[in-house]
Chain A
Amino acid sequence: MMPSDAPAAVASSGPDSPARPDVAAIPALSISGISHSYGARRALIDIDFTVAPASFTALLGLNGAGKSTLFSLVTRLFGIQSGHISIFGHDITRTPGEALRLLGVVFQPRTLDLDLSLMQNLLYHAALHGIGRRDARARAEEVLARIALADRSASKVRDLSGGQMRRLEIARALLHRPRLLLLDEATVGLDVKARSDILSHVRQLVAEQGIGVLWATHLFDEIGTGDNLVILHQGRMLANGNVSDVLSQANAQDVNSAFMRLTGAQSQSLTP
């Protein structure tokens, strides 16, 4: 079930990384046999895949494919009806505290307090993770500097641009130093420049800090050739593996045509 290219070099990740060579084989996120229904409507049917540490996995699907339902299950907003989800080996139903400690999430809707300052938003998040004020302030300054918003720490979030808000949400999700980062349509509503900035920022986190990333999207052009790819369609998983494997399996030149072929080329608009 592990992707064939599971990284062996996790031990060389960032300075705070708890990863050790012997634990590199444990998936950052493991989803097995997950099904979910809203009444009679089946939103997810028997989903099975893993996200390795220090890897970028794109979860590709149209609106309504089940991506947000899957995110709600991993983040414990919905209860699991059948199957198992674990984060670095911690089952999210049995040991939710340990699992959620290692998880950072960027939700699709904006979840910042618009009337509070950047720093206040970050300190609140740190408090929710039990990080004391002094440590939290140091971490907040560090992440704000990394997203080039250090000089705006006292401004209200309301005054930021859409791209800056997203960067702040990613910074916030990293404040408690998670090992797995989930992003649900993080680039929706952003212009081309902001989109590519955020995408390259997240890819940098994977390369430099060894964070495992699950990136939900409906935009084909966000998927790179070296990524892992999971295709969700109408609640079913149609493909799972390295992008090049998925392409050859679908006998396609690019992700767009692979998606068309696998989903039977429904008449929905697929333009990014």
Chain B
Amino acid sequence: MSSTTVGSKQSGFSFGEYIVCLNGIVWREALRFLHQRERFISALVRPLVWLFIFAAGFRQVLGISIIPPYETYILYEVYIAPGLMAMIQLFNGMQSSLSMVYDREMGNMRTLLVSPLPRGYLLFCKLLAGTAVSLLQVYAFLLIAWFWDITPPTIGYLTVLPALILSGLMMGAMGMLISSGIKQLENFAGVMNFVIFPMFFASSALYPLWRVQEGSPMLYYVCQWNPFTHAVELIRFALYGQVNWISLAVVAGCTLVFMVGAIFAYDPSRGLARRGPAGGET
């Protein structure tokens, strides 16, 4: 074959080229994020509404006993903070996937996918870029929450970072997998109703699972099978410098499964090919 090809000075790609590509994708995502100030503000307002209004009202109804990782009685606001951090990432992951559907319609996804680098790597870079954006949002939330007396140990701000990266990747990969099956933007409202809300409410984000078990054993099992529960618990423990090994295993496993699924779905010989012509062109 080598005698009948042109331009094959090198085959494969150097480590430097992979890094340049990753930087470029993250840099573009950050630039776009900065240009969408409303997106940042709404990403911040959503959890703050829960914190300032919902938690304040709920505080009297729901007493929290001492459960790990907490060592003292805590206010309800303190309990739901990790759940709200995970919620930020859940919305961000879904919004990144919304932008992929949008990109695909606008053709930007096409420029990404004709890059010569391996497609799986390109999608992974896209996921990392989305996760980086979610980290900005979560830390901005933590800063505001600090003034609301949600003050985890200082080291917690550092130890929560790896947990946030992993859970951000999981949410992003899940969104990407879902986006590969969506043809039009309109369908995304359905995703909000059928994915985001059930995942958020059937989890330990708003109430400890032992409380759920008292009320409905059935719901308790649903919550335990919900990957979002484990993302919340992973973040909750990491924020207090601890590791919840079961949650870590579940989140890591789900990340892997969703990511492989998304890469498979965006493989030209499978996912996109089944969709037919984009935008009605042929």
Contact surface of A with B, Cβ cutoff 8 Å = 18-19, 23, 26, 38-39, 43, 63-69, 72, 75-81, 88-90, 93, 95-103, 105, 107-111, 113, 115-116, 120, 123-133, 179
A-B CB contact pairs (8 Å), 21 listed: A18-B7, A18-B9, A26-B6, A63-B282, A64-B282, A67-B282, A72-B277, A77-B110, A79-B270, A80-B269, A98-B7, A102-B7, A103-B114, A107-B111, A113-B32, A115-B35, A128-B24, A129-B21, A130-B13, A130-B14, A130-B21
- Residues in chain B near residue A120, CB distance under 8 A: 28, 31
Q: Which of A98, A116, A124 contacts B24 (CB 8 A)?
A: A124
Q: Are B5 and A26 in contact (CB under 8 A)?
A: yes
Known contacts A79-B267, A113-B28, A115-B35; is-contact A98 B112 (Cβ 8 Å):
no
Q: Which of B4, B17, B28, B107 contacts A130 (CB 8 A)?
A: B17
- Residues in chain B near residue A77, CB distance under 8 A: 110, 113-114, 268, 272, 278
State in angstroms the CA–CA spacing of A214 and B188 once bound together: 37
Q: Are B5 and A124 in contact (CB under 8 A)?
A: no
Q: Which residue of A lies closest to B118 (CB)?
A: A97
- Residues in chain B near residue A66, CB distance under 8 A: 282
Could you count the A-B residue pairs with CB atoms below 8 Å apart for me: how many are there?
Answer: 149
Interface residues on B, range: 35 or more
Q: Which of A23, A108, A126 contacts B6 (CB 8 A)?
A: A23
Contact surface of B with A, Cβ cutoff 8 Å = 1, 4-9, 11-14, 16-18, 20-21, 23-25, 27-28, 31-32, 35, 106-108, 110-118, 122, 267-270, 272-273, 276-279, 281-282
State in angstroms the CA–CA spacing of A97 and B279 once bound together: 27
State in angstroms the CA–CA spacing of A39 and B7 once bound together: 37
- Residues in chain B near residue A105, CB distance under 8 A: 110, 114
Q: Are B111 and A111 in contact (CB under 8 A)?
A: yes
Q: Which of A65, A99, A101, A111 contacts B107 (CB 8 A)?
A: A111
State in angstroms the CA–CA spacing of A96 and B110 once bound together: 15
State in angstroms the CA–CA spacing of A64 and B280 once bound together: 9
Sample of 13 more A-B contacts, CB < 8 Å, known A63-B282, A77-B114, A88-B5: A38-B277, A43-B277, A77-B110, A88-B7, A97-B117, A100-B115, A102-B6, A103-B114, A105-B110, A107-B107, A113-B28, A124-B24, A128-B25
